[in-house]
Amino acid sequence: MKLKWYGHSAFKLTTDKGVRIIIDPYESGFGNGGLAYGKITDEADLVLTSHDHGDHSYVRDIKGKFTRIEKEGSHAVAGVKVTAIPCFHDPSQGKDRGKNLIFVIEADGLKVAHVGDLGHALSLDILQKLGSVDVLLLPVGGFYTIDAKGATEVMNAVKPRITIPMHYKTEKCAFPIAGVDEFTKGKKGVRVVNASELDVGKESLSKDAEIVVLKYAL
């Protein structure tokens, strides 16, 4: 499987059979220009959106005849299993920012979890639904989501083989959130990749857990 980070919380997963899955596509220029990553114009077979905010649910630029998943439950499309687990965008049961979905994508013998704009620690029930996760796509910037400390707690609870940070401040994101260094500092197994894509295979996973910091593509 190939993982591509566009920027913010937007990823494209391409399975070994060529199924293209785009997760949480943003609107370029969202937030009065605060989100300056480029437009996502790739083709997709599946588009997953964790909640209805413009920096996570903008599908207008995406090409192709795709199936969109934006509701909780189990879905099977083109040989890919997707489970959408309900949670919240804040620590107050959604009173401040509403609901959020965690997506678990199973393909190529891998389990990838994208937690959207998760705003709280994971309950035992959610952890049990997640099960054994190979790759965790995790917000770390705080303010709108869990912060570096909360993200660390989620990572330690899930115990993925690979954690890829997302939703943090960069030169193309002017939101009042922290940079990735707040999350990675002091941690072992941090690998900074000068690329926006990562090839992941079940057999090639490191025995030791690692944090992989990607370069945004757009």
Q: Tell me the per-residue pLDDT of 105-144, one tens digit each, with 9 for 90 and over.
A: 999 999 999 999 999 999 999 999 999 999 999 999 999 9
**Stretch 27-40: mean pLDDT, rounded?**
97
Q: Which CATH number applies to 2-213: 3.30.420.40, 3.60.15.10, 3.40.50.720, 3.30.413.10?
A: 3.60.15.10
Structure tokens belonging to residue 160: 């993925």
| Res 5 pLDDT > 90 | yes
Phi then psi for residue 152, to 5 deg, are -65, -40
Q: Quick one: pLDDT at residue 204? A: 87
Domain ranges of the chain: 2-213
CA distance 50 to 84: 8
pLDDT(215) > 80 = yes
Enumerate the β-bridge partners of residue 162: 135, 210
pLDDT tens digits along 39-78: 999 999 999 999 999 999 999 999 999 999 999 999 999 9
Say whether pLDDT at 97 is over 90. no
Q: Quick check: helix, strand or coil at residue 124?
A: helix
Can you tell me whether residue 184 is helix, strand or coil? helix
pLDDT digits (tens, 9 = 90+) for 160-172: 999 999 999 999 9
Q: How high is the pLDDT of residue 64?
A: 95
